[in-house]
Structure 1
Amino acid sequence: TLLAIVLATGLVVDDGIVVTENIFKKVEKGMNPIEASIKGSNEIFFAVISISVTLAAVFLPVIFLEGFVGRLFREFGVVLASAVLISAFVALTLTPMLNAYLMRPGKQERSKFYNFTEKYFVKMNTSYAESLRVFIDKKWWSFPILVACLIIIGVFFSLLKKETAPYDDRSYIGLSISGPEGASYDYMDAFMNELTELINDSIPEKKVSLVVTSPGFGSSSVNSGFVRIALVNPSERERTQHEIAADLTKWTKQYPNARVNVSESPTISVGRRGGMPIQYIIQAPNFQQLQEKIPEFMEEAGNDPTFSNTDLNLKFNKPEIYVTINREKAESLGVSVLDVAQTLQLSLSGQRFGYFLMNGKQYQVMGQFDKKDRAAPMDLTSMFVRNNEGLLIQLDNLVTTEEQSSPPQLYHNNRYMSATVSASLAPGKSISDGIDAMERIKEKVLGENFTTDLGGESRDFVESSSNTMFAFGLALLLIFLILAAQFESFIDPFIIILTVPMAVAGALFSLWLFGQTWNIFSQIGTVMLIGLVTKNGILIVEFANQLREQGMPKREAILQAAETRLRPILMTSLTIALGALPIAIALGAASTSRIGMGVVIIGGTMFSLVLTLFIIPAMYLMWSRDKKHRPEFDKPEIQLYE
């Protein structure tokens, strides 16, 4: 909501600017302020309604988006749409009234600033009019320019890095540590102490750190640990949070005793905290297929330059001994399977046999072989079992043993057996690069029986991209239908919609120029552009239609309309750009992630402004049709009778 209010400061004054500028022109020509307010606001009424309704309609798809994108931007859309509609009501009611009573009648007194700047504005108007006439004579230039805009969109969209949202510097880094399966607490504690020394020596920016060995909560085990590092404020350090995390990743790779994953807290997370940005879930009908292909997949992922670190939740590192009983031999020696199972359980499980009392206290009786007699796998075969005749038979005669590694835990996803491959990205790589790399490995390694899914931040990225693309298309369709109803034509709205590809081309070029990414904020900013830039086309086309209804030829009508509307178009475009400027220059803490939205709005608005002033008049001259006069809709003259 606060982000919406910041943007609204540049949007809500647009309608007032257009109405006031039109009224002021009429007063300059000698009209009474009250009459000028009535005629000026009536003349611009249709354009203001069209601008406001289209801008409010842009936020309708955003309001009804599903998933976390909808939850995040619902209030944003409601606030902006409400602000725009209220500003339109004020511009058509309160603004004309204030102009009528506050504007001085007759010739206006000119300030020194006005006298100094007006000559430049007049020169700008005449220069634009002359340039437009030259362009109109060669109006076919419009098509190559529009094609060039489409090419710019394709080129720069492929060049831009894509992610869910840029990481804000929150002065926080997390480390998760996993040791070898079966590692003792002492082993993990020694490694955590070694890691603590590294952090204390190498990160002077550290404010405080929390180091926990073998946490006993959640799904953690003895062979795990975590570190939480809080850094001093960004203004008090030279390195960014991301640079410190990258250095830690490089240093901890040199430790062979345990695996260390360094993570930053994502700007937007849905029901999770931290973790690697790439979560690629491999699904198979059975466990054997996963066991066969996972090592090959992990080898390919580890060798891929897109990733700096890879991990797998389905780890085949739990040592197990499979005991196979020779049933025929056991039967011939008078030993049952139950006898063998009970002997192993009583010897190794450490279960309670009973209790005994001594000195008034109760003690448990625990049965288990001494540690030296059960430390090695070969000790199993040295055990004895009693047969049905009471003789002791060595287990070595009855069983065979096989050592294997199995996963400590099995995972399921969408009712399939699954394994999640997690990866952190190499410097300069984005989430889209990581997902594409995983897809390439899938095509190379996995067969048709395997399916895949995404989790974590990767899933959020794909969901947000599909949702905002749907919102963009629906907003475009809604605006076209609304304008078609208002202009009673399909041609005029199509001419106005041509401003959108020019704006999107400017937005993508601006993102590339300033080193920003294609993320959820820049996507919503692009959806906003549809409503912001069609305003310029509406002002020109609507006024040209009015002049043609008064009998002016089409060429002269569009030339006069474009020249007359030049100043309000420039003023409204500048107010929109200046309103988004605080977002683009990231004023305030934790505002880095919103830079993309400000850059998109400013770049798209200013880029399309220059092209709109030439392309829209040229397209209007080529495509706009003569309006059919329908006398039945003419307003009847009011006759007064005594």
Structure 2
Amino acid sequence: MQKLAEVCIRRPVFASMIVLALVVVGGASYFRLGVDRFPSVDLPTVTVRTELPGASTEEMETQVSQKIEEVVNTIQGINELRSISSPGNSLLIVTFDLKRNIDVAAQDVRDKVAIAIRNLPRDIKAPIIAKTDNDQTPVLTVAIVGNRSLRELTEIADKTVKVELERSSGVGDVRIVGGLLRAVNVWVDADRLAAYQIPITAVRDAVVRQNADLPGGNVTRGLNEQSLRTMGRVADPKSFNDLVVATINGAPVRVRDIGWAEDGTKEQRSAARLDGVPTVVLEVRRQSGENTVAVIEAAKANLEKLAARLPADVRVDIIRDQSRYIYQALHEINLHLVLGSILASLVVLAFMRSWRSTIIAGIAIPASVIAAFAMMFFLNFTLNSVTMLALVLMVGIVIDDAIVVLENIFRFVEEKKPRCRSS
């Protein structure tokens, strides 16, 4: 540092050009920096989510959670291992040491869970293993509002709005909350079923077997080859009533003999309300590592284009926009940064009583801040609450160093030493 200071004093033009170059590069880098609320952090946590429909809490704990815990617990570097069991669901949370590579740890968990699957109940769904990712929190939430039924709004949200949002740059996932998806429901009368002595599983298997498109192989004619397919899907929901469930004494038993089929909706597993009225909400999540503000702006631009294609009585309202909080927070921090710089310069003027010293401090502060943007860009940092607060603290450090250096220079000048030597 002493050598650098000596070069800057003996070659002031060279030093000025270096500072100017850093300011220019930093200014150009500022407009390329991403904007986010918080910095990206890789948490050393892996979750294992398992579902067994119809199982009680005790069954999930003894037959699923404990068996997975036994094999996962042998992995090296685990700091904490805990599980949460509820009816039909098991959640295993594995927290590793900070020094452990989370990608390698997640693969180790996958390998151990694959071993445990053979000891789990047969009807269990495939476990979902995922790393805890801060990027999976919704960055934008929109509501579909209109004077229509919840099922119609869900159809618009699922087939129109969701598709358009998924096309936006940087969007990783769009989830529907509070919707009612269309489904053909087959209702069975328990008394009629018992009278025919038909198990409920036979009804399920018959519906699945007779409502499917099956490949029929290939037909070759000369140099041409065509694929065949057996068209077995039921197009009209009312036709489900004619499906044959079983044959008793040579007579077919159809769905209408033991119940009925209707064009309805799936069971509602979530609810959303806007101003007290049931509505459909879409949560937009960004891809890992993508810039939050850029993703939100791209999604909002696509929503503006979509507005013209929606029915006249349907609109899309933005009810949560994370970019607003980001801009407000950064605005406050920028304001404090500017005010801090001005007050620091005034303090120098009040105590040093020299306009020259004040100008030097006033130039050093913005030059240091702007030059820091270049390093942030090359290190792939973003403008967020943490980095901006660091810049605010840096102003204090810069002004402290400037005051100490200027005061010593003034002391040597008052002792009649040469200016170059004093510097």
Assess same fold via TM > 0.5: yes
Matching residue of 2:303: 442
Q: What's the offset of the Cα at 1:523?
A: 1.9
3-state SS, counterpart of residue 312 of structure 1: strand
Q: What's the offset of the Cα at 1:443?
A: 3.7
3-state SS, counterpart of residue 285 of structure 1: strand
Q: What's the offset of the Cα at 1:174?
A: 2.7
Matching residue of 1:130: 10
Matching residue of 2:118: none
**Amino acid paired to 2:137:** P
Matching residue of 2:251: none
Match of 1:295 among 159, 168, 171: 159
Are 1:523 and 2:388 an aligned pair?
Answer: yes
3-state SS, counterpart of residue 136 of structure 2: coil
Structure 1 residues 276 and 496, CA, compared in 2 at 3 Å: closer, same or farther?
Answer: same
Q: What's the offset of the Cα at 1:318?
A: 7.4
Matching residue of 2:221: none
In 1, Cα distance between equivalents of 2:355 and 2:406: 13
Map 1:67-466; keep pairs closer than 5 Å: 128-132=8-12, 145-146=19-20, 149-155=23-29, 158-159=32-33, 162=36, 164-167=38-41, 169=43, 171-176=44-49, 184-185=54-55, 204-205=75-76, 207=78, 209-210=81-82, 212=84, 215-216=86-87, 222=88, 224-231=89-96, 233-235=97-99, 237=100, 240-242=101-103, 244-245=105-106, 260=128, 262-264=130-132, 276-286=136-146, 291-302=155-166, 306-317=170-181, 319=183, 369=191, 401-405=262-266, 407-412=268-273, 417=279, 419-423=281-285, 425-426=287-288, 428-446=289-307, 449-454=315-320, 464-466=329-331
In 2, Cα distance between equivalents of 1:212 and 1:486: 62
State whether residues 171 and 285 of structure 2, in contact with CA within 8 Å, keep that contact through their aligned partners in structure 1.
yes
In 2, Cα distance between equivalents of 1:400 and 1:526: 65
Q: What's the offset of the Cα at 1:370?
A: 5.4
Structure 1 residues 126 and 462, CA, compared in 2 at 3 Å: closer, same or farther?
Answer: closer
**How well do the aligned residues superpose, as a CA RMSD in angstroms?**
5.7
What is the number of residues matched between the two proteins? 345
3-state SS, counterpart of residue 451 of structure 1: strand
3-state SS, counterpart of residue 526 of structure 1: helix
Structure 1 residues 129 and 172, CA, compared in 2 at 3 Å: closer, same or farther?
Answer: closer
Structure 1 residues 226 and 310, CA, compared in 2 at 3 Å: closer, same or farther?
Answer: farther
Q: Which has the larger radius of gyration?
A: 1
Q: Structure 1: any 5+ residue segments left out of the alignment?
A: 1-119, 217-221, 267-274, 323-343, 349-367, 383-394, 567-642
3-state SS, counterpart of residue 38 of structure 2: coil
**1:99-156: CA deviations, max 9, x gaps?**
xxxxxxxxxxxxxxxxxxxxx96x8876554323x569xxxx66x9547514423425
**Amino acid paired to 2:138:** I
**Amino acid paired to 1:450:** V
Q: What's the offset of the Cα at 1:419?
A: 1.3
Structure 1 residues 259 and 308, CA, compared in 2 at 3 Å: closer, same or farther?
Answer: farther
In 2, Cα distance between equivalents of 1:147 and 1:501: 14
Highest RCO, 1 vs 2 (Cα 8 Å, sep ≥ 6): 2
Q: What's the offset of the Cα at 1:300?
A: 4.1
In 2, Cα distance between equivalents of 1:303 and 1:544: 61
**Amino acid paired to 2:161:** F
3-state SS, counterpart of residue 510 of structure 1: helix
**Amino acid paired to 1:158:** R
3-state SS, counterpart of residue 158 of structure 1: coil
In 1, Cα distance between equivalents of 2:180 and 2:108: 29
3-state SS, counterpart of residue 46 of structure 2: strand
Match of 1:497 among 362, 377, 391: 362
**1:67-107: CA deviations, max 9, x gaps?**
xxxxxxxxxxxxxxxxxxxxxxxxxxxxxxxxxxxxxxxxx
Where is the strand percentage greater, Structure 1 or Structure 2? 2
Matching residue of 2:372: 507
In 1, Cα distance between equivalents of 2:23 and 2:366: 6
**Amino acid paired to 2:47:** G
Are 1:533 and 2:398 an aligned pair?
Answer: yes
Structure 1 residues 369 and 484, CA, compared in 2 at 3 Å: closer, same or farther?
Answer: farther
Matching residue of 2:334: 469
In 2, Cα distance between equivalents of 1:482 and 1:420: 52
- TM-score, normalised to structure 1's length? 0.41
Q: What's the offset of the Cα at 1:466?
A: 4.3
In 1, Cα distance between equivalents of 2:381 and 2:266: 46
Q: Structure 2: any 5+ residue segments left out of the alignment?
A: 114-123, 204-236, 243-255, 309-313
**Amino acid paired to 2:130:** V
In 2, Cα distance between equivalents of 1:247 and 1:445: 44
In 2, Cα distance between equivalents of 1:461 and 1:263: 25
Q: What's the offset of the Cα at 1:435?
A: 3.4
In 1, Cα distance between equivalents of 2:328 and 2:74: 36
**Amino acid paired to 1:262:** A
Identical residues among aligned pairs (%): 11
In 2, Cα distance between equivalents of 1:413 and 1:460: 21
In 1, Cα distance between equivalents of 2:409 and 2:77: 64
Map 1:579-590; keep pairs closer than 5 Å: none
Where is the helix percentage greater, Structure 1 or Structure 2? 1
Structure 1 residues 425 and 535, CA, compared in 2 at 3 Å: closer, same or farther?
Answer: same
**Amino acid paired to 2:281:** A
In 2, Cα distance between equivalents of 1:400 and 1:312: 26
In 2, Cα distance between equivalents of 1:290 and 1:488: 70
In 2, Cα distance between equivalents of 1:537 and 1:415: 59
Q: What's the offset of the Cα at 1:248?
A: 7.9
**1:341-396: CA deviations, max 9, x gaps?**
xxx9xx97xxxxxxxxxxxxxxxxxxx745568978979999xxxxxxxxxxxx99
**Amino acid paired to 1:520:** S
Q: What's the offset of the Cα at 1:525?
A: 0.9
Match of 1:479 among 334, 344, 359: 344
Q: What's the offset of the Cα at 1:278?
A: 3.3
Matching residue of 2:228: none
**Amino acid paired to 1:442:** L
3-state SS, counterpart of residue 421 of structure 1: strand
Matching residue of 1:100: none
State whether residues 163 and 430 of structure 1, in contact with CA within 8 Å, keep that contact through their aligned partners in structure 2.
no
